[in-house]
Amino acid sequence: MTASSSSSHVLIVGSMAFDDLHLPTGSFPSEVGGSATFAALSASLFAPARLVAVVGEDFPEATLALLRERGSDVQGVERAAGKTFRWAGRYADDLASRTTLDTQLNVFAEFQPRLPEAYRDGGVVLLGNIHPRLQLEVLSQVKAPLLVAADTMNFWIEGEREALLEVLARVDLLVINDEELRLLARERNLVRAAGLVRQLGPRSLVVKRGEHGALLFDDDGAFYAPAWPLEAEVDPTGAGDTFAGALLGWVARSGSVDARSLRQGLHVAATVASFCVEDVGTRRLSTLTRGHVTSRLEALARLVRVD
Amino acid sequence: MTASSSSSHVLIVGSMAFDDLHLPTGSFPSEVGGSATFAALSASLFAPARLVAVVGEDFPEATLALLRERGSDVQGVERAAGKTFRWAGRYADDLASRTTLDTQLNVFAEFQPRLPEAYRDGGVVLLGNIHPRLQLEVLSQVKAPLLVAADTMNFWIEGEREALLEVLARVDLLVINDEELRLLARERNLVRAAGLVRQLGPRSLVVKRGEHGALLFDDDGAFYAPAWPLEAEVDPTGAGDTFAGALLGWVARSGSVDARSLRQGLHVAATVASFCVEDVGTRRLSTLTRGHVTSRLEALARLVRVD
């Protein structure tokens, strides 16, 4: 992985949070989490991240320091008076489903994304999974982005469809999972659903399928990237945000949004996400290096090689 | 796909049946089905099949004629007095699950596989999904097979574990789906489960994952073959048998059981199975040609190509 001369950065807006995780392997209170946290930790493996989020007085400085060490800019992270957004959830024994036990928005309830002056120009933009109105707010503050990507979730697809459609009309790349795609397109078949959603705006659509890899649909057709078969999955929390962060980080690093960088990015993203689920919360991402990713990418290439 | 000079044949034992299929697209009574039928129709695309099964007086001669046209030998198909094995099932709207409405064993109840003299030497052997004791009976009648492969199902894994373990100790290749693997290994993680099952006998293990492709575990490590993303899935009945038939047909055609032929075979098998589910029962397989398979294999190669 060599950097392009014209490498860019990734502007990430999303949530930073504490997660109380109840996993088959045990309960883990107050794990650092949030869509922006996972995305920034993975994106910053490949390109500088510029973070826009809000945390409370109780959020650990160490997480912001780690992002700074990785060359990221966290001046857009507002530290507000009060507590950090907190989510509590319990996973099923097979980790395939989870139940939300509690959600405390805390300082996130009043979150109004404000981009520092230094954030407003160019770059790759990742609108993390937050209210579509806030995603639009961010877009209104960005000039000449290289690429605008968005994530979303069932909650907004069902409850804020109109605002979400406004967002879709303005994004180049939508990154969602297969169930979200089916819900958004109101079509069960993924190939047909992808065609329908691309008509809503995004020229490129990435469908995350967890252990089953990821699909890309764009003007060049369809592309499939497998996931690494894990011997032990510990915690799926944040894997989707990690995938999106790594994908956009890779695109920013390559400095151009062509079919090739997107396709390579899918392999990289599936691989970084496979590391994420190997430990609780952001723990694995915090120690992950580009060298680890390169090694697993090589193993992944061997996994699909016939000769 | 060019034939090797030392091409072999596939000996297939299994069920031939009528299926009463209740699909989201409608009800289709008395469709020709059965594990041996699906496997032989797909295997015979690549190598001669030698079929061992039992049918009743009501089974259509046309199906046997089609297999003969494809160069297969059906002298091992016994036509017994009475009715053919019949299965009735209803599929969920998403085709992901099905309920058995009725099972009439009929002539299959007394099935005792007897191999014609001409069947007893060499070849690739596919022990279709029947009672493990019957699978053992077939093995006792074969001399110097090139490869012995077996399929099975939850019913035998739960109810006839001991006999099944006897079979596993004597097969080179086990071809099952992911849920069957988990049940057999009593382990949820596929990679760990594969390791456990390979210790029971089969040096090679193929895990069928439907729309998610297939995994091969052997002495050379793991190999993954993706499935073709279908725009319309009509009927999953027999897709697993079709996969196994195509895989073994391909191996027989290449004439050697090496890592390469098995890996190529996985791509071929996933592709033939993707055709099978595009129409009801064996309809698509009955008209499928090697040319159709080659075209989709090329599309599949494009689907995973980065450049």
**Cβ-contact B78, B54 below 8 angstroms:** yes
The residues in B 104-163 lying below 8 A from A, measured between CB atoms, are none
Q: What is the pLDDT of residue A210?
A: 93
CA distance B15 to chain A (A): 31
| Residue A307: band (very low, low, confident or very high) from pLDDT cuts 50, 70, 90 | confident
Q: What is the pLDDT of residue B248?
A: 98
| Residue A85: band (very low, low, confident or very high) from pLDDT cuts 50, 70, 90 | very high
The residues in A 240-299 lying below 8 A from B, measured between CB atoms, are 260, 263-264, 267
Residue A5 has pLDDT above 70, yes or no: no
B231 touches chain A (CB under 8 A): yes
Number of neighbouring beta carbons within 10 Å of residue A3:
11
Percent of chain A with pLDDT over 90: 95
B232 touches chain A (CB under 8 A): yes
Residue B233 has pLDDT above 80, yes or no: yes
Residue A43 has pLDDT above 50, yes or no: yes
Q: Which amino acid is present at B235?
A: D
**Which domains, from first to last, does chain A contain?**
10-304 (3.40.1190.20)
Name which of A303, A305, A307 to mutate to probe chain B: the one with the most chain B Cβ atoms within 10 A of its Cβ: A303
The residues in B 73-112 lying below 8 A from A, measured between CB atoms, are 94
Q: What is the pLDDT of residue B1?
A: 40
- Beta-bridge partner residues of A86: A18, A104
Residue A1 has pLDDT above 80, yes or no: no
A189 with B215: Cβ contact below 8 A:
no
Residue B217 has pLDDT above 90, yes or no: yes
Nearest to B191 among A222, A230, A263 (CB): A230
A-B C-beta contacts closer than 8 Å: 67
Nearest to B264 among A215, A230, A306 (CB): A306
B268-B272-B277 Cα angle (round to 5): 150
ipTM: 0.88
Q: What is the pLDDT of residue B88?
A: 97
pTM recorded for the entire structure: 0.93
Chain B partners within 8 Å of A267 (Cβ): 306
Burial B74-94 (b: 16+ CB within 10 A, else e): bebbeebeebbbbbbbebeee
Which residue carries 């009929």 as its tokens? B106
Q: What is the pLDDT of residue A4?
A: 45
Distance between CA B124 and CA B68 in Å, rounded?
A: 18
Nearest to B303 among A223, A303, A306 (CB): A223
Percent of chain B with pLDDT over 70: 98
Chain A partners within 8 Å of B215 (Cβ): 229
B62 touches chain A (CB under 8 A): no
For residues A72-85, give the mean pLDDT: 97
B189 with A224: Cβ contact below 8 A:
no
Nearest residue of B to residue A96, measured between CA atoms: B188
A307 touches chain B (CB under 8 A): yes
- Beta-bridge partner residues of B78: B54
Residue B5 has pLDDT above 70, yes or no: no
| Residue B6: band (very low, low, confident or very high) from pLDDT cuts 50, 70, 90 | confident
Instruction: Dump the DSSP string for B59-119.
Output: S-HHHHHHHHHTT-EEEEEEE-SSPPEEEEEEE-TTSS-EEEEEEE-GGGGG------GGG
Q: What is the pLDDT of residue A122?
A: 87
- Model pLDDT for residues A125-169, shown as the tens digit of each residue: 999 999 999 999 999 999 999 999 999 999 999 999 999 999 999
Number of neighbouring beta carbons within 10 Å of residue A72:
22
For residues A249-278, give the mean pLDDT: 95
Q: What is the pLDDT of residue A2?
A: 40
CA B286 to chain centre: 15
- Model pLDDT for residues B52-95, shown as the tens digit of each residue: 999 999 999 999 999 999 999 999 999 999 999 999 999 999 99
Nearest to B189 among A221, A231, A267 (CB): A231
Chain A partners within 8 Å of B1 (Cβ): none
For residues B192-206, give the mean pLDDT: 98
- Model pLDDT for residues A166-191, shown as the tens digit of each residue: 999 999 999 999 999 999 999 999 99
Residue A204 has pLDDT above 50, yes or no: yes
Chain A partners within 8 Å of B94 (Cβ): 188
For residues B30-42, give the mean pLDDT: 98
Percent of chain A with pLDDT over 70: 98
Nearest residue of B to residue A234, measured between CA atoms: B189
Nearest to A303 among B192, B222, B260 (CB): B222
Nearest to A231 among B94, B191, B226 (CB): B191
Instruction: Dump the DSSP string for B61-72.
Output: HHHHHHHHHTT-
Residue B241 has pLDDT above 70, yes or no: yes
Number of neighbouring beta carbons within 10 Å of residue B158:
11
